[in-house]
Amino acid sequence: MTWDLAAAPFIIDLRVGSEDIDGLGHANNAVYVTWLERCAWRHSQRLGLDLAEYRRLDRAMAVVRHEIDYLAAGYENDELQLATWIVDWDQRLRMTRRFQLKRPSDGVTLLRAQTTFACIELSTGKPRRMPAEFLEGYGPALIGS
């Protein structure tokens, strides 16, 4: 499959279930946001930064902005692939991921999105500098690193 970015993405497989369908007969836009979160979490887990590690460090990457372009509809039983790349970070507070959702059966891109995250201290909810473990975990996944 061809993706928007040349670097190899982290990919999850998805299937549109009956519970994902809205009154218009296609996957509801809110479901796509859930899928973005699921993909980002699974990638973080693969990089060794799961919820237990976030709690141990008293740090987390929290969403501050989603930018989503809904390009085509997904329908019940569609098999989809959602890819993500870490495309930018300041190594202090902010990180940006890009996403692309495709239907392999016809190669159609259903969605392109970008999410900006900020590092927060879990105990206070306030912005805090990324710990060394975040630099070590997320750093190698940055495109071009």
Kindly tell me if the per-residue pLDDT of 26 is higher than 70: yes
What does the pLDDT average to over 64-75?
A: 97
What does the pLDDT average to over 122-133?
A: 97
Beta bridge mates, 7: none
pLDDT tens-digit series, residues 36-49: 999 999 999 999 99
> In whole angstroms, what is the distance from residue 25 CA to residue 14 CA?
18
Question: Around Cβ 28, how many Cβ atoms within 10 Å?
Answer: 15
Percent of the chain residues topping a pLDDT of 90: 97
Tokens of 79: 């098999």
By C-alpha distance, which of 45, 41, 31, 35 is closest to 100?
Answer: 35
Question: Around Cβ 39, how many Cβ atoms within 10 Å?
Answer: 24
Kindly tell me if the per-residue pLDDT of 65 is higher than 60: yes
Helix/strand/coil for 136: helix
pLDDT of residue 145: 52
**For the purposes of burial, counting CB atoms within 10 Å of the CB of 86, is it exposed (0-12), middle (13-18) or buried (19 or more)?**
buried
pLDDT of residue 1: 81
What does the pLDDT average to over 89-107?
A: 97
What does the pLDDT average to over 120-125?
A: 97
Q: What is the mean pLDDT of the chain?
A: 96
What does the pLDDT average to over 112-119?
A: 98
User: What band does 139 get if pLDDT is binned at 50, 70 and 90?
Assistant: very high
